[in-house]
């Protein structure tokens, strides 16, 4: 009796729009012939177009995601992180679970759908200080951050700090930038009634775009309408200007302007996915070059799609983005369906078909129940476009439960006050902080936060004791450090540290630093000696202990 042919293993890496729709179509079209497995870092699919709504607390975080196992019930889903690909061995290296031991997953056909990364390195300080909006955790972090700014701005007595906290800057005016700025403005406006010490005029929201207009993929008249709507709602739209650098307290623009702000959201800087850039593949504009069938040239059985891939729409593409598939969900879904058909055709010994798709148009929400739409060549703006936007994304959202949840939340939101609960998410305990000349790192009376190492520039510490008239000064350069007395005790700062030039500090939070130093007697001893040598022993601190009515805490530089 003839043995049934062995099933071919198709591995899809990446569970976004491209990967999910490819895996679904592969399972359907290759049933009985293919063994399909999808690998994704999280166990859920993120509906990215709704992330600005999550950031603005219009919907819950969980409403913008769908569990992959519910979406893809008939195939193997593996929550694991892709670390590399061995094309010669036809295997993908992943780590999974808590043990994080690399394992190899063999494939017969491989579909790369890892999306893109964010690359802001060209702008000093932006990688460290800008928030991004690509993933659920980004959207959650942004929401928490904005509400945190309102909370502090409502109670601070420092006018400069208040101004920074109430200035919000979004960089990049493609549709994710426009939707993010609009949603953020709406959240702040609706929330203000709960913050009695903040006036509407105290809040400044900027949208910064390097091109000479916003929404470059929309017709000019719709972009103009969007600009006017945003301006009406208090967004200052700055076009023809980009960012050059950022610090924790300001963003610098190409025209020399410096905007003091605590919130920079970068929607620019799409770069290659960090794993994709290590694979030795032919990349152009940070994307994997494919042929018209979405095959990766020179590699047997490797396909790529979605934002990660550069898929030509014509036989002889020029250096013109219009000759390639665009990086949108709309395209990724169609590519997923076509790639599945091509893989099945290949295994059946048939010819694959070139990818061809014409955009059906674009939609962008402008907040406050307004949107712009350019669909099938019909241009719409205002409330009708907004209803279309909502209807379209609701229908596009995969899974009935997700549609229902989002629909109900939208309805409730139109009559309920905004949700301003701030659920803190963890910040990294070690981070780089950029400073401009003259910026204060800390000043007397502040609660100590951690340990600082200078990686660039120079910083001056000054301690003045008003009681004794004693004065201490020291300049720290690259490789030197300050704040190490967190090891000795908890305290308030007595010293002022100011950046003497533009510079960067590596900051380690107190608990993390103390734990680390204590685990290494060598380090612990080094710092104790250093404190003794530099400050003449902890007992000789200039701390105006009794002079500080705020706290019983001791004080430290």
Size of the site for ligand FAD (CB under 6 A): 33
Q: Does 328 bind ligand FAD (CB under 6 A)?
A: yes
Q: Which helix (H) or strand (E) holds 280?
A: none
Q: Please identify which residue in the block is written with the tokens 């058909």.
A: 341
| Tokens representing residue 91 in the block | 């295997």
Of positions 28, 35, 42, 528, contacts ligand FAD by CB under 6 A = 42
Instruction: Tell me which residue has its CB nearest to ligand FAD.
Output: 16
| Tokens representing residue 422 in the block | 């701030």
Across 198-249, where does the E strand assignment appear?
204-209, 235-239, 243-246
Q: Does 218 bind ligand FAD (CB under 6 A)?
A: no
- CB 427 to ligand FAD: min, Å: 21
Strand 370-375 and strand 378-382: the pairing is: antiparallel
- CB 91 to ligand FAD: min, Å: 15
Dist CA 29 CA 341 (whole Å): 7
- CB 547 to ligand FAD: min, Å: 50
Dist CA 446 CA 429 (whole Å): 19
Of positions 133, 253, 281, 508, contacts ligand FAD by CB under 6 A = 133
Q: What angle do CA 288, 301, 342 make, to 5 degrees?
A: 90
- CB 117 to ligand FAD: min, Å: 8
- CB 192 to ligand FAD: min, Å: 25
Q: Does 367 bind ligand FAD (CB under 6 A)?
A: no
Which of the stretches 119-127, 213-221, 327-335, 440-448 binds ligand FAD when contact is defined by CB under 6 A?
Answer: 327-335
Of positions 30, 52, 495, 557, contacts ligand FAD by CB under 6 A = 52
Strand partners, 264: 130, 169
Which of the stretches 36-44, 231-239, 288-296, 544-552 binds ligand FAD when contact is defined by CB under 6 A?
Answer: 36-44
- CB 357 to ligand FAD: min, Å: 12
Binding mask 149-188 for ligand FAD (x = CB under 6 A): --------------------------xx------------
The nearer residue to ligand FAD, 132 or 494, going by C-beta atoms, is 132
Q: Does 39 bind ligand FAD (CB under 6 A)?
A: yes
Q: Does 306 bind ligand FAD (CB under 6 A)?
A: yes
| Beta carbons of 351 and 342 less than 8 angstroms apart | no
Q: Which 249-278 residues touch ligand FAD, going by CB under 6 A?
A: 275
- CB 409 to ligand FAD: min, Å: 18
In a 13 Å sphere around the CA of 110, the CA atoms on its Cβ side amount to: 22
Dist CA 45 CA 136 (whole Å): 10
Q: Does 124 bind ligand FAD (CB under 6 A)?
A: no
| Beta carbons of 140 and 68 less than 8 angstroms apart | no
State the greatest distance between any 2 C-alpha atoms of the chain, in Å, as a whole number: 101
298 conformational bin, left if phi > 0, alpha if psi -120 to 50, beta if neither = left
Q: Please identify which residue in the block is written with the tokens 């169609």.
A: 334
Q: Does 310 bind ligand FAD (CB under 6 A)?
A: no
- CB 133 to ligand FAD: min, Å: 5
| Beta carbons of 283 and 267 less than 8 angstroms apart | no
Q: Does 338 bind ligand FAD (CB under 6 A)?
A: no
Across 47-116, where does the E strand assignment appear?
65-67, 76-79, 81-86, 91-95, 103-106, 109-112
The nearer residue to ligand FAD, 301 or 330, going by C-beta atoms, is 330
- CB 78 to ligand FAD: min, Å: 9
Q: Does 330 bind ligand FAD (CB under 6 A)?
A: yes
- CB 422 to ligand FAD: min, Å: 21
Q: Which 76-115 residues touch ligand FAD, going by CB under 6 A?
A: 81-82, 113-115
The nearer residue to ligand FAD, 123 or 331, going by C-beta atoms, is 331
Of positions 12, 26, 36, 51, contacts ligand FAD by CB under 6 A = 51
Dist CA 505 CA 456 (whole Å): 7
Helix and strand totals (H; E) in the chain: 13, 36
Q: Alpha-carbon dihedral of residues 543, 546, 552, 556, nearest 10 degrees?
A: -10
The nearer residue to ligand FAD, 272 or 306, going by C-beta atoms, is 306
- CB 538 to ligand FAD: min, Å: 47
Of positions 11, 27, 34, 49, contacts ligand FAD by CB under 6 A = 49
Q: Specify the long-range contacts of residues 418-427, CB closer than 8 Å, at least 24 apart.
A: 418/57, 418/187, 418/190, 418/191, 419/57, 420/57, 420/147, 420/150, 420/191, 420/194, 421/147, 422/144, 422/147, 422/148, 422/151, 423/140, 423/144, 424/144, 425/137, 425/140, 425/141, 425/144
The nearer residue to ligand FAD, 269 or 457, going by C-beta atoms, is 269
State the DSSP string of 468-497: T--EEEEEE-TT-EE-GGGGT--EEE-EEE
The nearer residue to ligand FAD, 15 or 483, going by C-beta atoms, is 15
The nearer residue to ligand FAD, 47 or 476, going by C-beta atoms, is 47
Q: Which 5-34 residues touch ligand FAD, going by CB under 6 A?
A: 14-19
- Give Cα separations from 81 to 32, 275, 298, 539 (angstroms): 28, 10, 25, 51
- Per CB under 6 A, residues contacting ligand FAD are 14-19, 39-42, 46, 48-49, 51-52, 81-82, 113-115, 133-134, 175-176, 275, 306-308, 327-330, 332
């Amino acid at each position: 009796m003839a043995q049934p042919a062995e099933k071919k293993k198709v591995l899809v890496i990446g569970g976004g729009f491209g990967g999910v729709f490819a895996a679904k179509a592969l399972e359907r079209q290759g049933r009985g012939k293919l063994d399909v497995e999808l690998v994704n870092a999280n166990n859920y699919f993120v509906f990215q177009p709704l992330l600005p709504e999550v950031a603005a607390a219009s919907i819950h975080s969980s409403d913008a995601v769908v569990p992959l196992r519910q979406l893809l019930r008939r195939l193997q889903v593996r929550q694991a992180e892709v670390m590399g690909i061995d094309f010669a061995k036809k295997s993908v290296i992943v780590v999974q679970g808590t043990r994080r031991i690399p394992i190899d997953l063999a494939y017969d056909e491989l579909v790369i759908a890892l999306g893109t990364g964010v690359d802001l390195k060209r702008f000093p300080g932006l990688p460290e200080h800008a928030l991004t909006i690509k993933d659920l955790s980004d959207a959650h972090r942004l929401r928490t951050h904005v509400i945190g700014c309102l909370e502090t701005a409502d109670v601070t007595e420092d006018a400069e700090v208040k101004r920074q906290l109430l200035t919000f800057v979004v960089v990049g005016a493609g549709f994710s930038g426009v939707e993010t700025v609009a949603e953020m403005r709406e959240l702040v406006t609706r929330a203000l009634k709960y913050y009695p010490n903040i006036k509407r005029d105290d809040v400044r929201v900027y949208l910064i775009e390097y091109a000479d207009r916003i929404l470059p993929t929309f017709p000019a008249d719709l972009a103009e309408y969007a600009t006017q709507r945003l301006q009406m709602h208090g967004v200052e739209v700055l076009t023809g200007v980009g960012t050059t650098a950022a610090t924790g307290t300001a963003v610098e623009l190409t025209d020399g302007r410096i905007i003091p702000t605590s919130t920079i959201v970068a929607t620019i800087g799409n770069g290659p996915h960090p794993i994709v850039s290590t694979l030795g593949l032919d990349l152009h504009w940070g994307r994997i070059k494919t042929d018209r069938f979405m095959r990766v040239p020179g590699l047997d059985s490797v396909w790529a799609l979605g934002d990660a891939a550069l898929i030509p729409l014509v036989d002889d593409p020029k250096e013109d983005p219009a000759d390639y598939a665009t990086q949108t969900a709309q395209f990724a879904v169609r590519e997923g369906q076509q790639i599945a058909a091509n893989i099945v055709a290949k295994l059946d010994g048939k010819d694959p078909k070139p990818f061809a798709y014409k955009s059906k148009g674009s939609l962008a929400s402008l907040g406050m129940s307004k949107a712009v739409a350019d669909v099938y060549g019909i241009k719409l703006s205002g409330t009708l476009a907004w209803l279309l936007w909502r209807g379209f994304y609701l229908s596009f959202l995969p899974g009935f439960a997700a549609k229902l949840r989002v629909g109900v939340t939208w309805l409730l939101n139109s009559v309920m006050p905004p949700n301003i609960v701030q659920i803190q998410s963890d910040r990294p305990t070690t981070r780089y902080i950029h400073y401009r000349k003259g910026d204060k790192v800390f000043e007397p009376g502040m609660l100590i936060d951690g340990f600082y190492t200078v990686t660039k520039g120079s910083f001056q510490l000054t301690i003045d004791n008003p009681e004794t008239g004693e004065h201490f000064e020291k300049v720290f350069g690259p490789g030197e450090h300050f704040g190490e007395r967190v090891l000795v005790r908890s305290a308030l700062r007595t010293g002022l540290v100011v950046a003497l030039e533009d510079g960067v500090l590596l900051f380690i939070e107190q608990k993390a630093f103390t734990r680390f130093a204590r685990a290494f007697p060598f380090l612990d001893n080094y710092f104790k000696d250093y404190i003794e040598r530099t400050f003449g022993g902890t007992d000789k601190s200039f701390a105006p202990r009794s002079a500080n009515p705020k706290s019983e805490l001791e004080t430290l530089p």
